[in-house]
Amino acid sequence: MIYLKTDDEVELLRKANLLIGQTLAELAKLIKPGVTTKQLDAVAEEFIRDHGAEPTFKGFPNHKGIPFPASICTSVNEQVVHGIPNDIPLKDGDIVSIDCGTRLNGFCGDSCYTFPVGEISDEVRQLLRTTKEALYKGIEQAVAGNRIGDISNAIQQHCEANGYDVVREFVGHGVGKDMHEEPQVPNYGRRGSGKVLKDGLCIAIEPMIAMGKRAIYMQQDQWGIVTRDRTPAAHYEHSICVRKGKADILSSFEEIEKVLGEQFI
Ligand code: MG
Ligand code: MG
């Protein structure tokens, strides 16, 4: 069942999503060699709760019913998604994808950004740039009258044209009162396929892109997802509302990129 949002509901979704941009901007100030992802998680949880929201990831059960133990997912280098924050200090040249979910006034935000740690290689910088570009290529297609496959295909084409592989096991999704609603929004697929996009459809679009091959495995903690060939992966996510003419992006990278300054990719 696809649930289209009213304008009032879209504004509530926007508030929950803008809080993520603010939270990630706070983390951007701290991300440098030596900091641990557990430290980032503590800051994120406090910031989210101080703003009257809940971190939706905390306690979220996986396929085995194991609850996610933290407020953010921190996926470092070859980790693609769902990395559990830990005590290992980030190193110069690492990348860390921070996926964050909030619930505010009954509506969920969902957004992710991949951060450079210190100086990253040109090769990795290119992966980040391409993944973020792919996200916006997908968003360009998220207009009323298009189909889900138009978003999926735009993302896939852009990444593959640049020599990267699209992780297929994890996909974007509807977002609303629940963090994961219908429909699924894959990052690969055929143009003109899938459901027609209607005004008021709110979805999270989230390319997860590997520098090498897309094959993945799950870590022993039953959460972290890692590329088999151990090449780095990037993940950017916006929650958007489908509109006629142009999608309305509900989350924001603006404050994050203000903090990143010249590290901005
Ligand atoms: Mg997310
Ligand atoms: Mg998501």
Which ligand is in closest contact with the Cα of 173? 2
Asked if 238 and 249 count as a contact pair (C-beta separation under 8 A), the reply is yes
For residue 101, how far is its CA from the centre of ligand 1 (angstroms)? 6
φ/ψ of 99, rounded to 5, equals -100, 135
For residue 72, how far is its CA from the centre of ligand 1 (angstroms)? 9
According to the model, what pLDDT value does residue 263 have? 72
For residue 37, how far is its CA from the centre of ligand 2 (angstroms)? 20
According to the model, what pLDDT value does residue 150 have? 98
Q: Along the chain (265 residues), what's the average pLDDT of each consecutive run of 10 residues? A: 97 98 98 98 98 98 95 98 98 98 98 97 97 98 98 98 98 97 98 98 98 97 98 98 96 97 76
According to the model, what pLDDT value does residue 175 have? 98
C-alpha span between 173 and 11 (Å, rounded) = 19
For the CA atoms of 262, 17, 179, 155, what is the dihedral angle to 10 degrees?
A: -50
The environment of the single-atom ion ligand 1, i.e. residues with CB closer than 5 A, is: 99, 110, 112, 237
